[in-house]
Each structure stands twice: as structure tokens, then as C-alpha cells.
Amino acid sequence: MIRVLIADDQEMVREGFSVLLNAQPDIEVVGEAADGGEAVAKAAELRPDVVLMDVRMPVMDGLEATRRLAGSTGVLVLTTFDMDEYVYAALRAGASGFLLKNSSARALADAVRVVAAGDALLSPVVTRRLIAEFARLGGPRAPSRRRLEGLTERETEVLVLIAHGMSNAEIATRLVVVEQTVKTHVSNILAKLGLRDRTQAAIYAYETGLVRPAQY
């Protein structure tokens, strides 16, 4: 079973998500939190596989809570605010994915499964917003591209496609290789760059200038 903690300051929202997720045969909601501080404390106590994290909450907002939880559990940020700065800030904070609260029950459950599996939920919609934010910020922010020199030509190509929001299956189709080969490339990329997941890889590609908004 995938263990989920729901963090949202609205009780009705928490109850709604609990009903939707508990209806899934492989997902169990193990706890709820009404603010970011409570989310961090309960995550330490309950050790969920995934935390559904609202952005705007009292005491401690969802972005700060995400920063504190990053690396210890998967964080799926949920918000009604369809705005670039929230997407970028959430991903920079270490979130494994970003989903709007008006997404379907199926999309929510699928997102939880993706994050629980250790992957990152980086849909084309989120990628476009990520690109828009980098365009607004005015270009690369990372000081050095030195680590990129350790990638092979094919690994660099795969990193660019990851930054464009493509799944392993889509990358395999584009490069005319089997999906397992792509998975191997992705693992090598993350290891060589010292990154946690695909989301961090996409951010790194933009921050180093390997991929620029105009290329998308």
C-alpha cells in the first residue's frame, strides 16, 4: 500500500482527498495536517510514502514544509493557484511533482503512484510553466556547466528531452531505442550530476543554459 499524508488548511479539502484516495485499492491515507509545521511533524512520525502538500497554509507554508521534507519523502504539491512562481518555487523546494486541485480523481491517484515509485511528475503543462519562469528570470542561474562535461553525447540528448517534459516512453520513441535503455541513461545522468530525480534534472538543464525557453 502507498501511504499518504494530506496537508491542507481546509478540512473539507483534506476529507475530499481522503475519500478519493482511500477508494483506490493500493493507496491508504495515514494522516492529515492543517499546516506546514504539522505536516513536517506528522511526516516524521508516520513516515508516509507521499505527502500531498498545499502551498498556502498558516504557521508554515507548503513551500517551506517541502524544503524540510525533500529527500525524506515524496512531496506532491497541490494548489488552486495556477501561477508560474508557485510551480517554480515548489520544484526548487524539492517537490517531486505539482498538480492543480481541480485535477481529476484519476489524475490525482496516478500522480501519487508516480511520486511513490520515486519518479517525478513533470507534465508538459508544468514544463511550459517552468520554461516561462526561466524566461521571466532572464536566463541561466547556475554558475557552472562543469558537471555537464561528464555526460556522453546521448546522455546530454536525453537530458534535453527530460527538460522538455518527455516521459521515458516518449524519449525512447524519439531516439528509436527501447525504454530500458532510456531508463539506464536517466539513472546515469542523475548519478553523474548528483541529482535526485527528473525534476531536478530539468531544472538543472535550464539553470545551466543547456536548454533555453526559446528552444521549446
Tell me: domain 2-121, CATH 3.40.50.460, correct? no
3 state SS of 48: coil
Tell me: the pLDDT tens digits for 60-91? 988 899 989 987 888 998 877 655 566 677 77
Per-domain residue ranges for the chain? Answer: 2-121, 140-215
pTM: 0.70
Q: Which residues contact 176 (CB under 8 A, 6 or more apart)?
A: none
Question: Which amino acid makes up residue 78?
Answer: L
> If you compute the radius of gyration of the chain from its CA atoms, what whole number of angstroms results?
17
Over the stretch 125-168, which tens digit does the pLDDT of each residue have? 666 666 666 666 655 565 567 888 899 999 999 999 988 877 78
Q: Is the pLDDT of residue 92 over 90?
A: no
Q: Which CATH number is correct for 140-215, 3.40.50.1480, 3.30.70.120, 1.10.10.10, 3.40.47.10?
A: 1.10.10.10
